[in-house]
Amino acid sequence: MNFGALQDHEALGPSGAIGINELLARGKGAYADRTLRGYAADLRSFEAWCKAHGATWLPAETETVAPSISAEINAAEKKLNQTAQRMRKCAPRPGRGLLPRSRWV
């Protein structure tokens, strides 16, 4: 994702701050709306992580991005494990069907 001179701190404004909507407006027309919505969700998540950890979200440093990605991966793995556990509980067992056998059959 290249939205112009983001390496240049002057492009970020005097305080070094820029809003997500302002940042994504630079990509309007160059990217599909769905792609920009995805970028917005990722940027909001990263911004929230940075605020929670006292880090500056833009311009982002490698020392900030790497741990935030690691936290996202850990959260995704936890969610997948929880889903897998639920699915195992619902899975048919050998000798049993999906539904309990009716005593009238």
pLDDT at 102 (0 to 100): 53
- Structure tokens given for 11: 């492009």
Neighbours of 57 (CB within 10 A): 21
Cis-peptide, bond into residue 92, ω within 30° of zero? no
Residue 3: DSSP 8-state: -
| Partners of 28 in the β-ladder | 31
Neighbours of 46 (CB within 10 A): 20
pLDDT category of residue 10 using cuts at 50, 70 and 90: very low
Summarised one tens digit per residue, pLDDT across range 31-60 is 999 999 999 999 999 999 999 999 988 888
Nearest alpha-carbon partner for 60 in 13, 15, 105, 17 = 17
pLDDT category of residue 95 using cuts at 50, 70 and 90: low
- HSE at residue 30, side-chain half, CA atoms within 13 A, is 9
The pTM (predicted TM-score) of the whole model is 0.62
Q: Which of 10-19, 26-35, 83-92 has the highest mean pLDDT?
A: 26-35
